[in-house]
Amino acid sequence: MGGRVSGPADLRLKGVESLDRASSTDLSWVADSRRAGEAGASAAGALLVRAEIDAAGHPAIVVANPAAAFALWLGVLHPPRRPKAGVSPRAHVDRTARIGRGTSVAAGAIVRAGARIGARVVIAGGAYVGESVEIGDDTWIHANATILAGCRIGERCAVHSGAVIGSDGFGYVWDGAAHRKIPQLGIVRIEDDVDIGANTTIDRATLGETVIGRGTKIDNLVQVGHNVVVGEHALVCGQAGIAGSSRIGSRATLAGQAGVGDHATVGEGSTLTGQSGVLTAGNVPPGAVVSGMPAAPHREFLKRAALIGRLPELLRRLATLERAAGGRGKDV
């Protein structure tokens, strides 16, 4: 990632901490110039900064992206603790399952018939891997995560605790007397380098595939419906919901509690701000930033919000005008 040292090059640091908790032996970072004031008050021994002035007199390493450099450094200092390779005698692994070299299957994990597990995979205690599931190299299936029959997980993915991949899509049809279930016969396909947060659910397709594109990161408590396609490097934040057959473009961002109706389209690089909602079959153009329910361009939403704040005043003025015109206005 590179970088340029500003200050003594022989400085020795022992740890990594946030600005407010760092000591003289810790490295910290300044994400942007707005936090330069906090840097001045910090006791950190050195800082990762975008510009030397942001260091507020501290020794520094000047890099193009301080937050990314900080994440890289944390990974160097605190690499994941890989469990010992091998299958625990207290795991339940079907004899027809194929387990790759260097893979760890913990006590209490279940791997069903025909599953194919790649090399250096971690399947933690209580995790469930269903029939004919495929999991790529270097993927982590955390404790009590569930991968149901036929689903495919790529390489270097993380499926966190409580996540359910491949539950039935919410498909029912009214037959005149009751809601009749539509069999959900497809799968979920998760491409490489995808992270899936705790207690997130991704439904299998009715037919075909529900797809999560390469590099996408999904937060905790997210619902992805059947036959949804999420593009590459998208961000889906906590408690967001995506209804069936919607399309989410690459590098799109769904902020917390954003909702997308069924058969909607969210364009590449667009952003749905927190609690915004896209209606059924709605369309968010590429690169747009939308807010509110129904979602509208963010600037328009801010104008509407400002007007709503003025409604009591406007109502009083209207009542005054009505009384002046004919005495018909009522007190408000």
Q: Which of 150, 249, 235 shows the shortest CA–CA distance to 196?
A: 235
Q: How many CB atoms lie within 10 A of CB 276?
A: 25
Beta bridge partners of 183: none
Active-site annotation holder among 226, 233, 263, 298: 226
Judge if the upstream peptide bond of residue 294 is cis by omega within 30 degrees of 0.
yes
**What is the chain's Cα-based Rg?**
26
279 class by beta-carbon count within 10 Å (0-12 exposed, 13-18 middle, 19+ buried):
middle
Identify the residue whose tokens are 């605790």. 161
CA dist 182 → 131, 147, 276 (Å): 21, 21, 30
92 given a catalytic annotation = no
Q: Which active-site residues does the annotation give?
A: 226
